[in-house]
């Protein structure tokens, strides 16, 4: 009996989906979302640190993000990191709180962001297909080495294909949802 592990393939494919969802979280949609600031690192205490280790990020209104910096001495560093990120946000500093108004997106910018979302989705699809290819090669190798019969190899190959189709469908649905969110005015 071959040691073919469909669960491992599924885990690797789901990893591609979770990376995609993380990347989607970083896309600006014209609506405030705390995960928008996740990729920002701040030079604090002599080393780069993620923003969420220096401040509390909340969304008090649909078009506003609030960043409560814990250490007063780090307010300027956080402000600078947000301004220098390519998110196009201009913080308003009020003591230890930074308010980030989310500007309206114009139609052209929305189109650009949907193209970026489509690119992320395609990268996820490619990653899933690569995992599928690895699984199929594994199956062929097991059959060639005599660890697995031809029928078992075909059965497992169709399971791998079904899993691949399901995950790709999930990616396409996530892209549709994100596109609708981006294009919503």
pLDDT at 113: 82
Query: In order of start, what are the domains of the chain with their CATH numbers?
Result: 6-24+106-183 (1.10.132.20), 31-101 (3.30.1360.40)
Cβ proximity of 147 and 2 under 8 Å:
yes
Burial 139-175 (b: 16+ CB within 10 A, else e): beebbeeeebeeebbeebbebbeebbeebbebbeebb
pLDDT at 155: 92
pLDDT in tens, the chain (185 residues): 456 788 999 999 999 999 888 888 777 666 777 777 877 888 888 899 988 888 999 988 888 889 999 999 999 999 998 888 767 778 999 999 999 888 777 888 788 888 888 999 999 999 999 999 999 999 999 888 888 888 888 999 999 999 999 999 999 999 999 888 888 76
Q: How far is CA 89 from CA 58, 64, 68, 182, in A?
A: 15, 11, 16, 17
pLDDT at 1: 42
pLDDT at 28: 66
pLDDT at 4: 77
This prediction's pTM: 0.67
Where would I find the H helices in 36-106?
A: 75-84
Q: For the chain, what is the mean pLDDT?
A: 87
pLDDT at 30: 67
Cβ proximity of 157 and 137 under 8 Å:
no
């Amino acid at each position: 009996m071959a040691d073919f592990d469909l669960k491992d393939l599924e885990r690797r494919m789901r990893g591609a989906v979770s990376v995609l969802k993380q990347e989607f979280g970083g896309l600006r949609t014209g609506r405030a979302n705390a995960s928008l600031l996740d990729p920002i690192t701040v030079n604090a205490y002599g080393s780069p640190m993620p923003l969420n280790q220096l401040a509390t990020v909340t969304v008090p209104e649909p078009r506003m993000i609030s960043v409560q910096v814990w250490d007063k001495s780090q307010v300027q560093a956080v402000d600078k990191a947000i301004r220098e990120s390519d998110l196009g946000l201009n913080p308003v500093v009020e003591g230890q709180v930074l308010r980030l108004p989310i500007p309206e997106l114009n139609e052209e910018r929305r189109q650009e962001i949907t193209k970026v979302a489509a690119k992320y989705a395609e990268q996820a699809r490619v990653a899933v297909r690569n995992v599928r290819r690895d699984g199929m090669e594994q199956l062929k190798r097991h059959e060639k080495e005599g660890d697995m019969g031809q029928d078992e190899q075909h059965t497992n190959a169709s399971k791998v294909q079904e899993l691949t189709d399901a995950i790709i469908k999930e990616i396409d649905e996530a892209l549709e949802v994100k596109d609708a969110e981006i294009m919503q005015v």
